[in-house]
Amino acid sequence: MGTIDGLPPLREVIRAHDLVAKRQLGQNFLLDLNLTAKIARAAGDLSGCDVLEVGPGPGGLTRGLLAEGARRVVAVEKDARALPALAEIASAYPGRLEVLHGDALELDLGRHLAPPVKIVANLPYNVGTELLIRWLTPDAWPPLWTSLTLMFQKEVAERIVAKPRTEHYGRLALLAQYRCEARVVMSLPPEAFTPAPKVHSAVVQLTALQAPRHPCDFKVLQRTTAMAFNQRRKMLRTSLKALHPDIEALLLRAGIPPTARAEEIGLEGFCALARALHPA
Ligand code: SAM
């Protein structure tokens, strides 16, 4: 059966290049081009954008991004075995796909991209959270990217969009929601991937906000939430004691009962506390 881009179906690509999935590289491939096009569409209009994709593998999502009209795709892949398959895609879309061979955690990706940039990826599970944290904590804001459309294990996706007083609420939710609109836009069962992982997956859409929802010093917010959630079952007056000699008074000034626990406090409360600790 033909494909929308005239390239071979992904099962054939995998067979031709002997791309047997390696667990240590987090390789769970998406082979349905309708599905990869749907993920690309979840990132919105790509036509005027450079798209950064981490881990293109055999190129299912890469093909979705190009077919959906991305101006350029820069794809960084650690596994050299995938490079010939990706070179075939680059030939089918002249001048629109740049493939970088290397580790996304080590390469300086910014210099390969021109704004506006969207990041879209089915992330390897072993480095996914680390990459997300780096993207959410750039040296300066606004960051290089305008949106992130990322596939994670469902549990990680739930941690990103979690609200206070729920099981998955913690530092990752606060970090993500401080300067982004974050929502789950798609859920996928294990069978959507080859090989099928043990857990369900979900695509999260994070859109950068012009300004933080509640202004405060970001470094102070990070330090405060790290301490608060390191001892999430303790009362804040105890877990945050080392932050300030009169932490109770500052908690009260921020409208937070000193006996509350970290998981009961929303983003607004933590930002108010960061302002009390470090007035502008
Ligand atoms: N995008 C493909 C798809 O959706 O079918 C493959 C996704 S697979 C979950 C993750 C991909 O990331 C693999 O191709 C793997 O080789 C690659 N990878 C793993 N660690 C990496 C790293 N540190 N830097 C770049 N790529 C990496």
Percent of the chain past pLDDT 90, that is, above it, reads: 95
Q: In what order do the strands lie in the sheet with 72-77?
A: 97-101, 72-77, 50-54, 117-122, 145-153, 201-208, 180-188
Ligand 1 centroid, distance to 54 Cα (angstroms): 6
CB environment 5-27: b (16+ within 10 A), e (fewer): eebeebeebbeebebebeeebbb
Average pLDDT, rounded, for the chain: 96
Residue 105 CB–ligand 1 contact under 6 Å: yes
Residue 78 CB–ligand 1 contact under 6 Å: yes
Q: DSSP string of 166-198? A: STT-SHHHHHHHHSEEEEEEEEE-GGGEES--S
Give tens-digit pLDDT for 61-113.
Answer: 999 999 999 999 999 999 999 999 999 999 999 999 999 999 999 999 999 99
Ligand 1 centroid, distance to 55 Cα (angstroms): 3
Q: What is the pLDDT of residue 20?
A: 95
Please check the confidence at residue 263 and state whether its pLDDT lies above 60: yes
55 is in an annotated binding site: yes
What is the mean predicted confidence (pLDDT) over 227-247? Answer: 96
246 is in an annotated binding site: no
For the CA of 53, the nearest atom of ligand 1? 1
Give tens-digit pLDDT for 201-211.
Answer: 999 999 999 99
Res. 176 pLDDT band, cuts 50 70 90: very high
Residue 172 CB–ligand 1 contact under 6 Å: no
Residue 79 CB–ligand 1 contact under 6 Å: yes
Closest CA to ligand 1's atom 20: 25
Q: What is the pLDDT of residue 3?
A: 81
Give tens-digit pLDDT for 11-50.
Answer: 999 999 999 999 999 999 999 999 999 999 999 999 999 9
Cα–Cα dist 15/10, whole Å? 8
Residue 29 CB–ligand 1 contact under 6 Å: yes
**ipTM > 0.90 (yes/no):** yes
Res. 4 pLDDT band, cuts 50 70 90: confident
Instruction: Using alpha carbons, select from 50, 65, 87, 63 the residue that is nearest to residue 10.
Output: 63
Q: Which long-range contacts (CB under 8 A, 24 or more apart) does 209-213 make?
A: 209/179, 209/180, 209/181, 210/142, 211/179, 212/178, 212/179, 212/271, 213/177, 213/178, 213/179, 213/267, 213/268, 213/271
Give tens-digit pLDDT for 126-143.
Answer: 899 999 999 999 988 999
Q: Which two tokens stand for residue 124?
A: 């390897």
Q: What is the pLDDT of residue 13?
A: 97
Q: What is the pLDDT of residue 280?
A: 78
Please check the confidence at residue 1 and state whether its pLDDT lies above 60: no
Q: What is the pLDDT of residue 49?
A: 97
Q: What is the residue type of 76? A: V
Q: What number of CA atoms fall less than 13 Å from residue 154's CA on the CB side?
A: 10
In order of start, what are the domains of the chain with their CATH numbers?
10-208 (3.40.50.150), 218-277 (1.10.8.100)
Q: What is the pLDDT of residue 2?
A: 67
